[in-house]
Structure 1
Amino acid sequence: MKFSTVKSNIINELSILQGIVEKRTTMPILSNVLMKAESGKVELMGTDLEVGIRTDFEAEVKEPGVAAVNGRKVFDFIRLLPDDRNIDFTKKDDQLVIKAGESEIKIVTADEEDFPPIQECNFEKGFSWPLADFKEMIDCVFYAITQEQRYYLNGALLSLKNNQLELVSTDGHRLSYTRREFSEVKVDKEINQIISKKTLNELRKFENEKIDFDFDDNSLFFRVKNRVLISRIIESKFPNYQAVIPKDNPNKMIINKEELSSAIRRVSILSAEKSKGIKFSLSPGELKLFSSNPEIGEARDRLEVEYEGQALEIGFNSQYLLDFMETVGSEKVRFEIKDENSAVLIRPEEEEKGHYLYILMPMKI
């Protein structure tokens, strides 16, 4: 294998693989990227067996061939080269020689036959939508995905219904739901798939172009221009999230998002480190916030609000509240509360794009 390219062609494609290539692994081959040079381009592949990425870049291919080489070392060397450098790649026996001017590195290659196969997809189903909008949806659910043993909580549920795309996540303490309509999405039969947290995180790194989506019995496929991400399906049943959305909530508060976020941050300074608990005391026209730590002290704050309902006190994890506040786009947010022991529904007061709901369980303070 022998080819030449410029740094600007290869560096971004190597960069996008760094989140996939395993740094510490019991399978050494997974620390490698597979390079496949042929007819004017070089294909790069990386996988951790859960997520795989295929991408390519333009190159002057002098001798077609394949090499499996440590992905991090190649990236680090090329990253430190001047931007305008031409780079020559040559596979000699069991080494990949990379040379740019007077700079040269030789890296021992692995047996490419040991590299796990990465599925291909022709994207026949024709589902697509703008990635910029999808990233905003990912941000709305990402924080509520957990990494515990219940596999269905290790990702977000993606649902396609008619021309609607939904994402839902839950960690057992809270649930986040977002929905948007895309004219490009048309399905005859409802589609439900769980997407892993790692997959969602890698998609956030892709350029804001159109994203194509497809799937089979084992994998989900996402394509953005020349990059294809392949994700192993999480084989589990997602909880019936519709059943936990509270319907009867007579107590309603509307409040400025920035004012509430600032007050939560101030009061939570003295909340217990583990629980991060703060107390809301609600009455017509006002919200009082309170936290205490027996070893340090206590903190209080007060805000003017629009509130309809009975006086009540309810506790929350302050970080869970801030997670929602940091992703909601509206100036004001609405809290809909049944009582101090029931799940609370929080949503934007004004919704410019789609639909966003957050269900949060209270905590005892």
Structure 2
Amino acid sequence: MIFTCEKQKILEGISIVQKAITGKSTLPILEGIYINTNKSTLTLIGSDMDLSIQTSVDATIIEEGNIVIDAKIFGEIIRKLPNATIKIETLENQIIKITCAKSVFDVVYMNTTEFPELPQINENLKISVNQNILKNMIKGTSFAIAQDETRPILQGILFEVKSKNLNLVALDGYRLAIRNEFLDTDIDMEVVIPGKTLNEVSKILEDVDDIVDITFTNNHILFNLEKTKIISRLLEGKFINYNSLLPQEHKLLVNINRQELQNAIERASLMAKDGNTNLIKLDFQQDNLIITSNSQLGKVREEISTKLQGEGIQIAFNSKYLLDVLKNVEDDEVIMKMTSGISPCVIEEKNNENAKYLVLPVRLMR
């Protein structure tokens, strides 16, 4: 195998496929990047069996071949080479020679026979989404993925195509995040994708209108970008019926400036560090909201102007859960809907119907 490639191009490819290499595998071969050359294409693959990423890089192929090389050392070498053309060729005794300007590295490589083949996915049945829309949807839901391993299904995001809508849903027992977008398709399906996969997908997606094609099988999902394919196994099991968790009515509706609310909660949470509850109290009155927190560290009181419809309520929250929502909302104003001090709070954007969040309150000891 012999090829030449611009440093920046191969470095970009390495950083994409490295996202699939966790370093936790018991198989040494999965610590490596699979490199394949044929005709005019250089292909790189990284995999941890659950997640595989393949990307193609523009290169001049002099001699075809394939190898697996340790991802960490290969990435470090390429990163530190001068910004020039790199030549890579295989020598005898499983040695690969990397030459760039006056730098020459001889590195041991691995045989490709043990590297797992990528799952075969029929790409006939597919949906297509704009990269920037999907990236935004993942960002707006992934913070609500469960970290607790006792319920594996909640460590994923529900990816639901239903009634010409794409819905992404995440919940962890304390909060629920829903994002949806119109999708011109007659396909109806639902799968649960590991949160780790979608976080890596969102890092690869760009803030552009370019399309990403998405294909499913019973066990895997494929995200196909122009030069990159991301294949992930799906989580087994049935996701919780999230619609049943959303309150159908409310007794109080509050219009509030998102940034003011976020700033006030961030300040109030400075005094809520006692224990892990991050407890803050919200007292909704006719024209204002009073936020308080007290602990062994001291106490704080914040006041914000609001527009309230209904009767006032006193309610308490873990400030982290509210802040996670507010940091992922794009609108300047949010609407909070509540029924009582012990029932869930629904948060929506005033001018965007495509996002909905639910946060459970903390019960206060009377």
* TM-score over 0.5 (shorter chain): yes
Choose from 286, 290, 297 the match for 1:288.
290
Match of 1:215 in 2: 216
Task: Name the counterpart of 1:163.
Answer: 164
Q: Which of 188, 191, 208 is residue 189 of structure 2 equivalent to?
A: 191
Query: Residue 42 of structure 1 contacts residue 57 of structure 1 at CA under 8 Å; is this kept in 2?
Result: yes
Aligned-pair CA distance for 1:62: 1.9
Instruction: Tell whether the 8 Å contact from 1:344 to 1:360 is kept in structure 2 after alignment.
Output: yes
Which deviates further from its counterpart, 194-203 or 17-26?
17-26
**Contact in 2 for aligned 1:168/1:177 (Cα 8 Å):** yes
* 1:359 alignment counterpart: 358
* 2:20 alignment counterpart: 20
- What amino acid is aligned across from residue 278 of structure 1 in structure 2? I
**Unmatched 5+ residue regions in structure 1?**
none
Report SS of the residue matched to 1:269: helix
- 1:32-57 CA distance string (max 9 Å, x none): 01011111111111111111011111
Instruction: Give the Cα–Cα distance (whole angstroms) in 2 for the partners of residues 357 and 55 of structure 1.
Output: 35
Please, which moves more after superposition, 233-242 or 26-35? 26-35
Quote the residue 1:226 is aligned against. 227
Are 1:44 and 2:44 matched, yes or no?
yes
- CA shift, 1:24, in A, is 4.1
Determine if contact 1:70/1:107 at 8 Å carries over to the other structure. no
SS in 2 for 1:235: coil
Q: Does 1:335 align with 2:304?
A: no
- 1:308 deviates by 2.0
Paired with 1:82 and 1:322, the residues of 2 have a C-alpha distance of 43
Cα deviation per residue 1:82-123 (whole Å; 9 max; x = unaligned)? Answer: 22x111111222122211121122222122111111124352
Query: 8 Å contact 1:267–1:290 — kept in the other structure?
Result: yes
Letter of the 1:17 partner, please give it.
V
Match of 1:119 in 2: 119
The answer to whether the Cα contact below 8 Å between 1:281 and 1:314 also exists between their aligned partners in 2 is: yes
| Greater mean deviation of Cα atoms: 95-104 or 221-230 | 95-104
The 4+ residue runs of structure 1 with deviation greater than 6 A are: none
**What SS does the aligned partner of 1:339 have?**
coil
- Deviation track 1:65-89 (CA, whole Å, cap 9, x = no partner) reads 1101011211111112222x11111
Distance 2:105 2:38 in 1: 23
In 2 relative to 1, CA 130–344 (structure 1 residues): closer, same or farther, beyond 3 Å? same
Question: What one-letter code is carried by the residue in structure 2 that aligns with 1:177?
Answer: I
The equivalent residue for 1:89 is 88
Shift of 1:273: 4.4
Q: Distance in 2 between matches of 1:96 and 1:246?
A: 62
Indicate conservation of the 8 Å contact 2:145/2:156, yes or no: yes
Distance 1:182 1:7 in 2: 39
Q: Provide TM-score, normalisation by structure 1.
A: 0.95
1:312 is matched with: 313
Aligned to 1:74: 74
Q: TM-score, normalised by structure 2?
A: 0.94
Aligned length: 358
Cα distance in 2, alignment partners of residues 293 and 124 from structure 1: 59
SS at match of 2:290: strand
* Aligned counterparts, 1:95-174, within 5 A: 95-147=95-147, 148-174=149-175
**Counterpart Cα distance in 1 of 2:24 and 2:244:** 41
1:177, CA displacement in angstroms?
0.5
Q: Distance in 2 between matches of 1:29 and 1:144?
A: 34
Three-state SS of the structure 1 residue aligned to 2:167 is strand
Pairwise CA distance, 1:163: 2.4
The answer (yes or no) to whether the contact 2:121–2:217 under 8 Å persists in 1 is no
Q: Match of 1:202, as an amino acid?
A: E
